[in-house]
Structure 1
């Protein structure tokens, strides 16, 4: 696991200010007319609470997924704890994930499965490309692992940084999202019209 000095990854004061302003702007501008009605409509204050709650839940989810992404990139809990302002143990306790899943098929007739672990975000796409040629495709993933399932055809895999509209564009091109979009990546797959290499 790598250890990067938090001082080299910390945000500047300008970046912190810009992020805070962007979140506040999103909360005030997304509910239609909220900003304009805050001064004279008591119900607007309640809409502001609801919008802020949604923003807090979303930023909490993004933080959990960003920590998982950093772990998948090979970063240690002590480095993450320092960035989060907590101890290594507190970071691991709050953001640690359960152990990798059991690769055994759940239902009768389910194809063979394997867990690829440990696998970091730096190497995973090359590994998935090689496995895809051999007929394996991703069915689940998490911090430092991918679960792949055997098939008779080749597959290609794509990792897409989160952007608005990426899912619609990729699905129009025949890609399937492996599971709910995660931050900062979404993992997609699509079968190729080629037999699996053995």
Structure 2
């Protein structure tokens, strides 16, 4: 069987149809929410609970209407994370992470890496600049930090719930960023 087989052409056509229908549904939900519809009403219309409707559509509705608010929130999280690192408050750093990220980036690992950054660059001063990009399953925030003697760079990966799923720091900007 190859890609020109009628069965495979039918699969491609059905996929395109589902994609169009999903886009139409997301647009209809966004319009309904903008018009004042509750998640209860939307859930009833599609045969699911209000929680299921909100979980499925809230990110797309929220993203469509408030990307600037998301960017502001993610910048605030980045600033809070680096301020917490500067004060050795690893519990606060973990508060912003998913469970898996917090387990992978243990207090010990965070302390070791942050100590290396401080030794190479001096005391932390501020998050100097951030750029936020929407990724497939969330967001990537690329940052530049300002320290006494240097400007480390890196990225923070966020899921759609704005929780940190990954964090990398490089002492100079010649490193290739992962996300």
TM-score, scaled relative to structure 1: 0.30
Of structures 1 and 2, the one scoring higher in RCO (CA 8 A, sep 6+) is 1
Which is helix-richer, 1 or 2? 2
